[in-house]
């Protein structure tokens, strides 16, 4: 059994950002599909901008996102800072504010999660 936290930090501005997103979503899906594994998918920093884009059914990675969206959450502070707070709430994605408005990476480590960033 593996506990993993996939943290998407990549923004939406470049081709390499799209690649990092796709790889992060694929990794989250692999953990989600493996019996006994647990995964948390966290959109943090500029990565919060992906949530409204991935909610669009016409987006190339919408289906992949849908496969793991039940495990998704977003940084509360960064959602506001990047102007996507309302869109994240509309999507039903939880906003995390465990440490100064951000997700607590320390808590994830304390709970024996492997932290993987994209």
User: What are the φ and ψ backbone dihedral angles of 95, each rounded to 5 degrees?
Assistant: -105, 130
DSSP state of 85: H
DSSP state of 102: B
**Is residue 74 within 8 Å of 91, Cβ to Cβ?**
no
Q: What percent of the chain has pLDDT over 90?
A: 99
Residue 31 banded pLDDT, cuts 50, 70, 90: very high
Total domains in the chain come to 1
pLDDT of amino acid 22: 98
pLDDT of amino acid 117: 98
Q: Which domain holds residue 65?
A: 3-117
pLDDT tens-place string over residues 60-95? 999 999 999 998 999 999 999 999 999 999 999 999
Residue 39 pairs in a beta bridge with 4
When the pLDDT of each residue in the chain is averaged and rounded to a whole number, the result is: 97
CATH number at residue 61: 3.40.1260.10
Per-residue three-class SS string for 10-47: CCCCCHHHHHHHHHHHHHHHHHHHCCCCEEEEEECHHH
pLDDT of amino acid 9: 98
Residue 10 banded pLDDT, cuts 50, 70, 90: very high
The kind and range of the H/E element at 87 are helix 85-91
């Amino acid at each position: 059994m593996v506990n993993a936290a996939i943290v998407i930090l990549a923004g939406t501005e470049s081709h390499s950002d799209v690649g990092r997103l796709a790889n992060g979503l694929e990794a989250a899906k692999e953990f989600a599909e493996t019996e006994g594994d647990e995964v948390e998918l966290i959109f943090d920093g500029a990565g919060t901008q992906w949530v409204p884009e991935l909610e669009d059914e016409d987006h190339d990675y919408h289906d992949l996102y849908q496969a793991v969206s039940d495990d998704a959450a977003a940084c509360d502070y960064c959602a506001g800072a990047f102007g996507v707070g309302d869109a994240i709430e509309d999507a039903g994605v939880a906003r995390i504010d465990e440490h100064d408005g951000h997700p607590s990476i320390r808590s994830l480590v304390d709970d024996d999660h492997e932290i993987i960033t994209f």
